[in-house]
A and B are shown apart, each in its own frame.
Chain A
Amino acid sequence: MKIVVCAKFVPDATADRRFRPEDSTVDRAGVDGLLSELDEYAVETALTVKEAGDAEVTILTVGPEQAADAVKKGLQMGADAGVHVLDDAIHGSDAVATSLILSKALAKLEADLVVFGMGSTDGGMGVVPAMVSERLGLPAVTLGSEVTVEGQTVRIRRDGDTASDTIEGTLPLVLSVSDQANEPRYPSFKGIMAAKKKPVETWSLADLEIAPDQVGGASAWTEVVEVTARPPRSAGTIVTDDNGSGAAELVEFLSTNKFL
Chain B
Amino acid sequence: MSNVLVLVDHTAGKVRKTTAELLTIARRLGEPVAVFIGDGVSDALPVLGQYGATKVIALTNADLTQYLVAPKAEALQQVAAKVEPAAILISSSTEGKEVAARLAVKLDSGLITDAVDVTAGDGGPVTTQSVFAGNYTVQAKVTHGTPIITVKPNAATPEAAETSPEVEEFDVTVSDAAKTARITESKPREATGRPELTEAAIIVSGGRGTGGDFGPIEAFADSLGAAVGASRAAVDSGWYPHAYQVGQTGKTVSPQLYVAAGISGAIQHRAGMQTSKTIVAVNKDEEAPIFELVDFGVVGDLHKVLPAATEEVTKRKS
Contacts and interface: CB of A to CB of B under 8 A. Distances in A.
- Give the residue among B98, B135, B280, B294 with the most A Cβ atoms within 10 A: B98
Contact of B280 (A131, A134, A165, A250): A250
B235 to A, nearest CB: 8
B256 interface: yes
Contacts, number: 262
A241 interface: yes
A35 B49 CA distance: 48
A118 B249 contact: yes
Contacts of B301: 241
B207 to A, nearest CB: 17
Interface in A184-230: 220-230
B183 A179 contact: no
A161 B140 contact: no
B113 A127 contact: yes
B304 interface: yes
Contact of A238 (B11, B248, B291): B291
Contacts of B279: 233, 236
B163 interface: no
Interface string B117-160: 00001000010001111111111111111000000000000000
A142 to B, nearest CB: 7
B105 A99 contact: yes
A257 B181 contact: no
A130 B101 contact: yes
A250 B298 contact: yes
A161 B243 contact: yes
Contacts of A123: 131
A260 B97 contact: no
A86 to B, nearest CB: 24
A255 to B, nearest CB: 7
A221 B267 contact: no
Given A130-B102, A161-B93, A251-B316, A167 B184 contact: yes
Interface string A136-153: 011111110100000000
Nearest to B266: A14
A2 interface: no
Nearest to A135: B105
A236 B297 contact: yes
A194 B109 CA distance: 44
Interface stretch (B27-35, B36-44, B186-194): B186-194
B295 A236 contact: yes
- Give the residue among A14, A19, A95 with the most B Cβ atoms within 10 A: A95
B304 A241 contact: yes
B138 A226 contact: yes
A138 B304 CA distance: 54
Interface string A93-105: 0111001000000
B296 A167 contact: no
Contacts of B308: 244, 246-248
A22 to B, nearest CB: 16
B94 A96 contact: no
Contact of A134 (B73, B110, B188, B305): B73
Contacts of A24: 138
A13 interface: yes
A64 B156 CA distance: 38
B298 A163 contact: no
A180 B177 CA distance: 29
B161 interface: no
Interface string B171-188: 000000100111111111
A126 B152 CA distance: 14
B257 interface: yes
Contact of A228 (B98, B137, B268, B280): B137
B122 to A, nearest CB: 11
26 contacts: A24-B138, A38-B249, A95-B111, A127-B100, A134-B106, A140-B181, A161-B197, A163-B186, A166-B185, A167-B68, A168-B181, A221-B109, A227-B136, A227-B138, A230-B136, A233-B292, A237-B295, A238-B298, A240-B299, A241-B304, A244-B304, A247-B307, A247-B312, A251-B316, A259-B256, A260-B224
Given A168-B182, A254-B280, 5 more contacts: A99-B105, A130-B102, A236-B291, A241-B299, A241-B300
